[in-house]
Amino acid sequence: MNVRGFRWQRLVARHIGDQIFALAAKIYPICRSITGNGVRHTLYELRRHIALKIHEVPTGTAVFDWTIPREWNIRDAYIKNESGEKVVDFAKSNLHVMSYSVPVQRRISLSELKDHLYTLPGQPDLIPYRTSYYREDWAFCMAHHQFESLQDDTYDVLIDSSLTEGYLTYGEYLHKGETQDEFLFSAHICHPSLANDNCSGVALLTYLAERMAGLRTRYSYRFLFAPGTIGAITWLARNEDTTQRIKHGLVVSMVGDAGGPTYKRSRRGNTLIDRAIVHVLKHSGLEPAILDFSPYGYDERQYCSPGFNLPVGLFQRSRFGEIPQYHTSADNLDFIRPAHLSESYRLITQTLDVIENDTIYINLLPKCEPQLGRRGLYGAVGGDKDAAAANMAMLWILNLSDGVHSLLDIAERAELPFEVIRRTAERLEQYGLLRDSSGER
C-alpha cells in the first residue's frame, strides 16, 4: 500500500539545523557512559520533544552472550599537585576520566600516576576518550603537552565514582504507520562530551521523530537511543519478535561534520534501504563514499549479525576513525555545524521519501507511446525549468512501468532523481496513463 501523503518536505522545517544543533549542545556537557545517570538525564532531555519510553534493565540480566554490567556513576574527579592546584579537573571536561573508572582516593608519586594516564603524543593538545567497561581499572586522560609539564611531585588523586548494582537505561519511541512493518533508527548514547559522536545523531533523530508525529506514513518508525554494543544487544535480546517486522533501518552517528556523506551498506548489501540511500546520495550534489558492509563499526554490527541479518546500514558524514578529531576533545561543538546537521537531516528524509513512495505502476497504454502532446503533457511540463528531465522521466516511466520495475528501479535506470520520477508518475496517473499496482500486491 502506498500512503500518498508522504513528502519528505513535510519533515523539514526552517532552521532545523539550528534546532538540532541546539539540542546537541544541550546534551553535550552531560557525562554519559553505557549506564548511569548521564544516560538518564540525556533521555529526559529527549523526552521534552517526544513521548520517549525509558527502559531500565537490571544489572546481571543475561542478554545473549552478555550480561548487563554494574551501573557506573561519577560525581567528581581531579589530580591535585602538592601545591593543592587541580592539574586535572573532571569538572572542566568529563573526558579527563576514563569511563567506568573504579573509585580511587590516594596520594601517589608521579611515577605511579603515569601508569594511570592516557595521552595522545601525536595530538599533544587533545584529551583522548578512553573506556574500560569490562576490566576494573582507573585512569585519567589529558593533553600530552600538559602531561610533559607534570612536575616530579606527589599527587592527590580522586575519582568519586561508584560501580553498583543498578540498571542499563535506554529510550525507545515508536511512530505508528499504516502498517506494522518497521523502519528502525538507532543512535548510540553512551559517549560523554563528544559532539559529533554522537550528540549529533541523537539530536537529529529526536527532531526527526518529533516532526514525524501526526504524519501519515506507510511504515512504523522505531527510534532507539541506547548505549553502543551492550544497548543494541539488550534491545535485540528483549525484542526478538519485533525484529521480524524490521524491513529497513539506519544506524545514525557523526552527522554534524563537513565530511562525507558516508554510507556503509547492510550485510545483505542491496536491500531497499541500501538502494534508496545510495540513490539519494548520488543525486545529492555531494561526493558520497559508499562502503560495503564490514563487521567493524557501530551497532550495525549487532543488527547485521548472522542470527538477525537485518537490512540496516550506517549513515555518517566523515567515516569513523578516519578523522583526527575522532574520540578526542576536538570532537566538540565547534566541530559540528547547523548547516551540516540540516543537510544530513535532509538526506535522511529524502531516503524515507524513496522508501515510503516506491511502488510499481502499470502503463495502461503499453503498446507504443501514448500521445502525450494531445493531453498537454509535453506542454504542461514545457514551462518547468526541469522540463527536459520531466520529459525524459515521462518516457522512462511509460517504457518501464511493465509490472516489474518500481519507481526506484526507473529512477536508477534513468539516472534521474527519485523525486522527479515520483512526481512525474503521479502526474501520469492523474491523466489515466498509469495505475498504481501496490494495492494489488
Q: Read off the DSSP letter of residue 319.
A: P
| Residue 69 vs 338, nearer CB to its own copies | 69
Stretch that binds its own copies, among 115-123, 245-253, 272-280, 296-304 (CB under 8 A): 296-304
Q: Does 307 bind its own copies (CB under 8 A)?
A: yes
User: Which parts of 154-213 interact with its own copies (CB under 8 A)?
Assistant: none
235: three-class secondary structure by DSSP: helix
Closest distance to its own copies from the beta carbon of 327 (Å)? 16
Cα(76)–Cα(88) distance, integer angstroms: 11
| Residue 192 vs 228, nearer CB to its own copies | 228
Place of cell 502499470: 362
Closest distance to its own copies from the beta carbon of 267 (Å)? 7
Closest distance to its own copies from the beta carbon of 393 (Å)? 10
Say how many residues make up the chain. 441
By CB under 8 A, how many residues form the interface with its own copies? Answer: 43
Stretch that binds its own copies, among 59-67, 87-95, 174-182, 344-352 (CB under 8 A): 59-67
Closest distance to its own copies from the beta carbon of 134 (Å)? 5
Best CA proximity match to 59, nearest among 35, 37, 42: 35
Stretch that binds its own copies, among 166-174, 180-188, 299-307, 330-338 (CB under 8 A): 299-307
| Residue 78 vs 303, nearer CB to its own copies | 303
Which residue(s) pair with 338 in the sheet?
Answer: none
| Residue 228 vs 261, nearer CB to its own copies | 228
b (16+ CB within 10 A) / e for 406-415: bbbbbbbebe
User: Which parts of 358-417 interact with its own copies (CB under 8 A)?
Assistant: 363, 365-371, 373-374, 392, 395-396, 398-402, 414
CA–chain centroid gap for 69, Å, is 25
Whether 261 and 344 have beta carbons less than 8 Å apart is answered as yes
Stretch that binds its own copies, among 39-47, 159-167, 235-243, 351-359 (CB under 8 A): 235-243
Q: Which cell is 148 given?
A: 610533559
| Site map 61..90 versus its own copies, x via CB under 8 A | --xxxx------------------------
Stretch that binds its own copies, among 211-219, 232-240, 327-335, 420-428 (CB under 8 A): 232-240
b (16+ CB within 10 A) / e for 309-346: ebbbbbbbbbbbeebebbbbbbbbbebbbbebbbbbbb
Q: Which cell is 120 given?
A: 595522545
Q: Which long-range contacts (CB under 8 A, 24 or more apart) does 321-326 make?
A: 323/257, 323/259, 324/123, 325/196, 325/257, 326/197
Closest distance to its own copies from the beta carbon of 8 (Å)? 27
214: exposed, middle or buried (Cβ count in 10 Å: 0-12, 13-18, 19+): exposed
Enumerate binding residues for its own copies (CB under 8 A): 63-66, 134-135, 229, 232-233, 236-237, 240, 267, 294-296, 301-302, 304-309, 363, 365-371, 373-374, 392, 395-396, 398-402, 414
